[in-house]
Amino acid sequence: MSWAGHQMVGRFFLEAFGSAMQQAAYLPALATGRITAAVAISEPGAGAHPKLLQTTARRDGGKFVLDGEKAYVTNGPIADLFIVLAITAVEDGRKRYSAFLVPRGTPGLSEIEGPKIDFLRPSPHCGLRLTACRVPENAMLGPADTAYETMALPFRDVEDAVGTGGLTGTLRFMLHLLAEASDAAASSEVIATLGELAGLIALIGRGSDALVAALGAGDLLHGDNPATLVGIRGLTAHVLARAKAYRASVNPAIPDKLDTLLRDLDKSLAIAKGPRLVKQNRLGMAHLEKRP
């Protein structure tokens, strides 16, 4: 997760939205691993919902002053550079956001513990506090007042697509652990369950391959790809439920790592559940509208 986050943040934010100066300053160091960047969007009690976010950035002469608090910053404890989303305008009651490059060590920026995340170890997470944190005008990443629509929302789809690769590997390892814990003289029912899980995980892997290929071709949001994203999560939830039931029925002397893995999968599926349900509902409504 940490490696994927490092790659995604560098490629999606700096490569796609960075100015020539910003890219020259950070991309070589990111590419060689000399530094790591982390994106800070979510906030305590608000998640990433645009109506609830409170962090602001106000212009003060030739600088911007950032104030607020961020949570669930993946790779935050090891990051050298933070991409912070902040409110820069309000138009007709609607908050408009910009993104800012804030290096670690910037006065007014401090790392805080943030909400406890007891899963996805050893990938580190933290919170951030920004108190009169001053950055130069050229620290703004991409156009002003458009960062939520152009960065935050599309990045969720990129995260989901890339994440299906790690998800597939995790499910395959789960299947291996379930088989390892099974009795050598397994019943026909046990064998059939393992076979069903193997087949469903293979389908998830095929879907992941298709999504990653679409992402590479710049076609992630077209055709059946949005539906594939929804389908993979639904199928994973079904596989997880079947795996939990199977785990309860086999040899109780199952290694702790299997229970840890099942817990991580369970909690991972709950991340950003609200925004993903919105996409699922949109997909359903699109099909309702196609009725004859």
For helices 225-249 and 273-289, give the axis angle rounded to 10 degrees: 120
Is residue 141 within 8 Å of residue 147, measured between CB atoms? yes
Known active-site residue 91? no
Give the length of the chain: 292
Q: Which listed residue (69, 113, 159, 289) is catalytic? A: 159
SS3 277: helix
Q: Locate tokens 């590479």: which residue? A: 216
Dist. CA 43–CA 61, nearest whole Å: 27
Please work out, in degrees rounded to the nearest 5, the angle formed at the alpha carbon of residue 167 by the alpha carbons of 254 and 257.
20
Is residue 262 within 8 Å of residue 245, measured between CB atoms? no
DSSP string, 1-22: -HHHHHHHIIIIIIIHH--HHH
CA distances from 203 to 68, 209, 210, 231, 264 (A): 43, 10, 11, 10, 21
DSSP string, 128-186: EEEEEEEEEGGGEESSTT-HIIIIIHHHHHHHHHHHHHHHHHHHHHHHHHHHHHS-TT-
Name the residues annotated as catalytic: 159
